Amino acid sequence: MRATTKEIVFSVLFISEVARISNALFIPAVES
């Protein structure tokens, strides 16, 4: 099953967004 370019771009954007949100949630908790 070959991913299309659109699916690859969506996956990269989704993963980077999840990483950004988790950083925003977890970093303040660690620093406090």
Confidence at residue 2, expressed as pLDDT on a 0 to 100 scale: 86
Q: List per-residue pLDDT tens for the chain, 32 residues long.
A: 788 999 999 999 999 999 999 999 988 878 77
pTM (2 d.p.): 0.60
Q: What is the pLDDT of residue 24?
A: 93
Would you list the domain boundaries of the chain?
Answer: 1-32
Residue 11: predicted pLDDT: 98
The predicted structure's pLDDT at residue 23: 93
- Angstrom distance (rounded) from CA 16 to CA 8: 12
Query: Cα angle vertex 12, ends 21, 5, to 5°?
Result: 155
Query: What does the longest C-alpha to C-alpha distance in the chain come to?
Result: 45
| Residue carrying structure tokens 């925003």 | 24
Closest by alpha carbon to 9, among 32, 1, 31, 17?
Answer: 17
Q: Give the per-residue pLDDT at 14.
A: 98
Question: Which value, to the nearest 10 degrees, does the dihedral of the CA atoms of residues 21, 19, 29, 32 take?
Answer: -100
